[in-house]
Structure 1
Amino acid sequence: MMGGAVVPENPVRLLGRYALHGEIAVGGMATVHFGRLHGAIGFSRTVAIKRLHAQFARDPEFVSMFLDEARLAARIRHPNVVPTLDVVATDGELFVVMEYVHGESLARLIRQEVRAGRLIPPPIAASILSGSLQGLHAAHEARNERGAPLSIVHRDVSPQNILVGSDGVARVLDFGVAKAAGRIHTTQQGQIKGKLPYMAPEQLSPDGTVTRVIDVYAASVCLWEALTGKRLFSGENEAMILAQLLSMAVEPPSRFAPDISLALDQVVMRGLSRQPDKRFATAREMAVALERAVSRTASSAEVADWMESVAGAPLAARYRTVAAIELQTDAPSSEQLLHEISSMRKAPRTTGAVSASSLGGPASASPDHRMLGLDGSGPSQSAPLSPPSFASPKTGASRRFAKPALMALLVIACVLLGSLIAAFTGPGRGGTKPPPAPTATAPPTTREPPVRTIEPVPSATTRPEASSSSTATAPTASTKPPPPPRPTAAPAPRKNCDPPYSVDSSGRKKFKPECL
């Protein structure tokens, strides 16, 4: 997450699947440590682990505040907000696991520039505060699981809680004193939450009015200090700071930094108005006005290059610390990986309710965890998860692809069968023979034979042949030559055809039918 000088590492402490390493930064309520997430099959990841101080871990008020922070931050999903990943409760202590962001706080960057005798360029400052305002707007608009607005108000926006990553993206963190609807911890009467130099005047009123515009006011104070390199309200004690906050006339930032334009002055002064209705109505509205006030806001790449020039040395030192922590984790051997994979394959099927440990949740949960639903139970998850069964990958795949594979086999079989039938029934391939071509002989006619004139009887040596007119050649069915005629049996010899006619009583000759 964020960090100052890297403290020498303490002995590694295991918190379930997390390893707790050295400190990154120390606050009044908790300490942030380097952490390492160890998952299955050799998976690991560097995280930041926020640990509640031991004297506060026994106080129910601080415990509820700590859990509220984790619950609220988990509902905010935006690139300009540091994500909360997990909550661990073990040995009477509470730990919040967050994403590790390699970067520096805006407070440290302002000090680095002042020590070098420089000021943060207005495009850089505008880009950092614009991103922070977008993250605050996401917090203000966050909703719960049922879609109801949470009405989150950070109440502790300050340069210490704005983290600028080495990627050039600004992120808001630390929602420990945020006010929200449905929060377990409530502020006692007369108790003030937040840092006094960044509080809006209405926070100090007896009724304790808290709306989203107090975060707009605090962000405007951070912008004023980033542009000028000075503290807006400062004094030897809180009484002096309180008097300045309520009555001191605020000078525009251009009074201390001549490079600031009049439009940028107007944005800052509107956000610092002591009357809430004269400020920007939302954090996003101020972010848009801020981007328009400067000629050109710096891109994330330009902010990253500026970060390297300002805080390159401490970032390099922290990077070496992270690399040393990662090297302490022995990479699993190939035999260990194969053993884990084989054990996963041989694991029995899971039926019935799913436990929190099987989902990678904390090993144990406190009553506060169960009340908030952070251990997988609670009002939103009162009924156990009861899926019918979780089939193995092999069984699931066979069931999923059984019908398509069967249909494909049937289609292939039909295609092959059709090809075989076509091959055996084609011309000249055997099987059913094609019908023979029509013969050249015309079918016999049924009409009476014509009456012929009497001709001389031929001699015995000259035997009359059949008339050529009794046969006719039929046209071919196609242009292809007909197949050769099949051999037929020899015609039977004619009987009683000499002579081939008979003479009736009137002297006329009548040919015998069998002799035609």
Structure 2
Amino acid sequence: MSNTPHTEAPFEAVPAVWHQGLTVGRYHLLARIAVGGMAEIWLARQAGLKGFEKFVVIKRILDGLGTDPEFVAMFLDEARIAAQLNHPHIVQIFDLGEEAGAFFIAMEYLPGENLAAIARTGARQSQPLPIPLAVRVIADAAEGLAYAHTKTGPDGKLLGIVHRDVSPQNILVTYDGVVKVVDFGIAKAATRESQTMVGQVKGKTAYMSPEQAKGQSLDARSDIFALGILLFELVTRSRLFQFSDPLEALRVVASDDPIPLAHERNPEVPATLGLIIARALARDPDQRYSTGRQFQYALEEWLRSQPEVPGAAELAAYMHERFGARIQERAKMLEAARNGEVSSTGIRRAVSSNTGDSMPGRAQVDEETTLEQSLRKRSRLSMTAAAVGGLLLLGGMGAFFALRSGGSVEPVPPPVATPPVAPAPPILTIETDPPGALIKVDGQEVGHSPLTLDTLSVGEHSVAASLEGRLPAERQVKLANPGERAMVLLALAVEPAPTPNPPPTSTETASPSASQSRPAKKAAMGKLTLDTTPWTRVFLRKQRLGDTPLIDVQLPAGKYQLKLVNEEKNISTVIEVEIRAGQTTAKKLRL
């Protein structure tokens, strides 16, 4: 026997085998819940001091791929990109680790369903997702993507993140009604180590933008197009693109064929909403919403025009109605997994249903393809089946629930033991110029300005202010969503002193038409100086006055309602100001 030492790395000589009960770093493996062509997904528990405990999902590179430089680079890119994103509507990445030569990502546990499961279950139960709830889901997803699109690095430079795989499997709704965008596995960032070259197509063909199908360079507008497809399919309950093979799919998506209007496909869709969707689905990127935030705002404006504006509570109620049995079964499964009393097979059985990984409609042939893959067999870096592909693409706990097999689901009443968390109340801040005015909301005295209220319900409220020596002012304020922060500023004009009517002059008596022939006086002008923290764009009757700080902007004397918008900070509020002739009205606001 030779005494020459081995030079191979230990994990190459003896591949690491993960098993139930193994501790990997800070995580205790409970069960393997899925495996695909590239990675395996584990449910794990992170334990800490004094009974601290948290469930996580771990995505681990399969043995054999850990030595593939291209795949490892892609896997690490996913972790680097996603780890920089911290937003309520994006799955949270906790950790990137390595165990015996195999890389893994630990991420947020999300008990919920992807859009494909929601749409199919709703269709099977003849209770499809209501149109306002579908708009709420896509608006929240647009908010999360807008955050990713505008994310900057430590140096302040834009990261240039584009998701590139916005699809039903990658939008998750938790049982508490929270929308999450998951799996940035093929996301493209300007700073990523392994770059995707122009001309290489990745993603699911049925949810690609035309420029993506052509292999062109992409920006945020490509993700907006994909969101438009999702909303079209949710509200029309039909597929947008129909195809029989991958090459045909690319041709259909990349063509100049007109895209149908949602309100023509389904007359239940209001025309106003159909036109919003149509703009998101413009084949020319320059004709679409330029940012995810713009698309979100358009959807939010439409929701505010509805009799009831849905939020997380309404989404949670729908989820409990449709998936009540599964919620109870999974709760039991987690308890059993915590105690080591369930196998991987048991967990997979607990999370399975007869829902597929695509939206309802005509079956498609292989929805995931690239230009290269459509001409030859997929490489080992490609998904081997659409179901497993959807599973891995879910990334976080979406991966936990993406595997579907047989079994039916019947709706049951929501479990009493785990009701949805009560939504936070809206918060309204009321200020007056000058301060100290008596404030009434819906006819009831609530105090003196300035003040902040967190006791109002969602809906419309009347806000009135009065102060001695000033004319009273009143505004209608609409609080659309739980947890929303709004501000109203009421300008109280000086009460004019009464003056007697002067007798008519002889000239006026003799020639009543003389005054009529005089040229009209020019409107008296005043100036507005406005500063806000953070900065905002200022609009007057849809005309942009500029960005704060505004200094000595001339306006005719009178009262105005100004809209203040900062998309990055999710600010959109209306204030009231009074411009006095020959004077400067100065305001400094913290929003």
State the TM-score bracket (shorter-chain normalisation). Answer: 0.5 to 0.7
In 2, Cα distance between equivalents of 1:140 and 1:128: 18
Q: Could you list the runs of 5+ residues in structure 1 that have no partner in the other structure?
A: 1-8, 330-516
8 Å Cα contact 1:119-1:227 kept in structure 2: no
**Quick check: 1:200 aligned with 2:204?**
no
Shift of residue 28, structure 1, vs aligned partner: 5.1
Q: In the TM superposition, what whole-angstrom CA distance separates every residue of 1:390-437 from its partner, at most 9, and x where no partner exists?
A: xxxxxxxxxxxxxxxxxxxxxxxxxxxxxxxxxxxxxxxxxxxxxxxx
Match of 1:221 in 2: 229
| Counterpart amino acid of residue 248 in structure 2 | M
**Quick check: 1:173 aligned with 2:193?**
no
8 Å Cα contact 1:119-1:228 kept in structure 2: no
**For residues 269 and 226 of structure 1, do their structure 2 counterparts lie closer, same or farther at Cα, with a shift above 3 Å needed?**
same
8 Å Cα contact 2:236-2:269 kept in structure 1: no
In 2, Cα distance between equivalents of 1:258 and 1:10: 53
Choose from 14, 33, 39 the match for 2:42.
33
Match of 1:317 in 2: 329
State the aligned residue count: 320
In 2, Cα distance between equivalents of 1:28 and 1:221: 28
Match of 1:12 in 2: 21
8 Å Cα contact 1:126-1:297 kept in structure 2: no
In terms of fraction of residues, the more helix-rich structure is 1
Instruction: Provide the secondary structure at the position in 2 that maps to 1:32.
Output: strand
1:234-313 alignment to 2 at 5 Å? 234-247=242-255, 248-294=257-303, 295=306, 296-313=308-325
Identity of aligned residues (%): 39
In 2, Cα distance between equivalents of 1:252 and 1:315: 36
**For residues 71 and 191 of structure 1, do their structure 2 counterparts lie closer, same or farther at Cα, with a shift above 3 Å needed?**
same
**For residues 134 and 25 of structure 1, do their structure 2 counterparts lie closer, same or farther at Cα, with a shift above 3 Å needed?**
farther
**For residues 30 and 254 of structure 1, do their structure 2 counterparts lie closer, same or farther at Cα, with a shift above 3 Å needed?**
farther
In 2, Cα distance between equivalents of 1:298 and 1:23: 36
Match of 2:196 in 1: 187
Match of 1:413 in 2: none
Q: Could you list the runs of 5+ residues in structure 2 that have no partner in the other structure?
A: 1-17, 342-591
Shift of residue 229, structure 1, vs aligned partner: 2.2
Shift of residue 23, structure 1, vs aligned partner: 3.7
8 Å Cα contact 2:211-2:254 kept in structure 1: no
| Counterpart amino acid of residue 205 in structure 2 | L
Choose from 91, 103, 118 the match for 1:109.
118
8 Å Cα contact 1:132-1:172 kept in structure 2: yes
| Counterpart amino acid of residue 251 in structure 2 | A
| Counterpart amino acid of residue 37 in structure 1 | Q
In 2, Cα distance between equivalents of 1:151 and 1:246: 23
In 1, Cα distance between equivalents of 2:212 and 2:80: 24
In terms of fraction of residues, the more strand-rich structure is 2
Shift of residue 191, structure 1, vs aligned partner: 2.2
**For residues 133 and 229 of structure 1, do their structure 2 counterparts lie closer, same or farther at Cα, with a shift above 3 Å needed?**
same
Shift of residue 190, structure 1, vs aligned partner: 3.5
| Counterpart amino acid of residue 137 in structure 1 | A
| Counterpart amino acid of residue 219 in structure 2 | T
1:265-414 alignment to 2 at 5 Å? 265-294=274-303, 295=306, 296-328=308-340
8 Å Cα contact 2:243-2:249 kept in structure 1: yes
In 2, Cα distance between equivalents of 1:180 and 1:203: 15
In 2, Cα distance between equivalents of 1:255 and 1:54: 51
Instruction: Provide the secondary structure at the position in 2 that maps to 1:232.
Output: coil
Choose from 23, 30, 40 the match for 1:21.
30
In 2, Cα distance between equivalents of 1:30 and 1:232: 31
Shift of residue 189, structure 1, vs aligned partner: 5.7
Shift of residue 38, structure 1, vs aligned partner: 2.1
Quick check: which has more Rg, 1 or 2? 1
Shift of residue 133, structure 1, vs aligned partner: 0.5
8 Å Cα contact 2:20-2:32 kept in structure 1: no
Choose from 57, 74, 78 the match for 1:69.
78
8 Å Cα contact 1:15-1:88 kept in structure 2: no
Shift of residue 145, structure 1, vs aligned partner: 2.2
Instruction: Provide the secondary structure at the position in 2 that maps to 1:54.
Output: coil
